[in-house]
Chain A
């Protein structure tokens, strides 16, 4: 099983829609969780950290479910500018030692 898995994409949604992504992780000892966005041929940029109690930043809400080992990202009122690939990042202990593991990403296209 892969360390970090994400919803397969692409997600094509109309402008104004609400869309949610999930990310599951296999290591129960993971402590750090983040969502990054990556535009085509650009570097990843931090969208938000994910805290145990859940957190919100404008139209974006991140939640952590430790019992089920997943994190989620909810985007409300989608904008065209939200089109990007969303990467979840988890800090894990794996065969190589402690590591930041990036999910493969979920691609979102917001359509006019």
Chain B
């Protein structure tokens, strides 16, 4: 039972490069989320998707785009990476279709460590 799978686990980019972080869950969950975690700060929500075909901005969406490809997959794209986007990125999912209105706990992937030089 894989749960939430993120790829890649590590990535180094140069400023201005683009890349897509992949996330897939096999728990038949409806809501999916992308967070970033920086030292000394709590996780901050970038984007979320309450159901297939919908996406919404979180607290820190600037510089990112997302795609909810299907129910299982939710990708995060950095179009032009900046050093300020160096962080650990976590994808999460929860069962219902409530997104950030959910009362249900989230299940996290093991993160992508992204460094931008």
Which A residues have a C-beta under 8 Å from some C-beta of B? 4, 31-32, 34, 42-46, 49, 87, 91, 94, 96-105
Contacts and interface: CB of A to CB of B under 8 A. Distances in A.
Contacts, number: 55
B106 interface: yes
Interface residues of B, number: 25
Given A44-B108, A45-B108, A102-B44, 14 more contacts: A4-B42, A34-B105, A43-B108, A43-B109, A43-B111, A87-B42, A96-B59, A98-B100, A98-B101, A99-B58, A100-B106, A102-B43, A103-B42, A104-B42
Given A42-B110, A96-B59, A49 B40 contact: no
Contacts of B90: 43-44
B58 A96 contact: yes
Contacts of B106: 46, 100
Contacts of A105: 42
19 contacts: A31-B103, A32-B102, A32-B103, A42-B110, A43-B90, A46-B106, A91-B102, A91-B103, A94-B59, A96-B57, A98-B99, A99-B58, A99-B100, A100-B33, A100-B106, A102-B35, A102-B42, A102-B44, A104-B40
Contacts of B71: none
Contacts of A4: 42
B107 interface: yes
Contact of B100 (A34, A46, A91, A103): A91
Nearest to B44: A102
B115 to A, nearest CB: 14
A99 B103 contact: no
B41 interface: yes
Contacts of B100: 91, 97-100
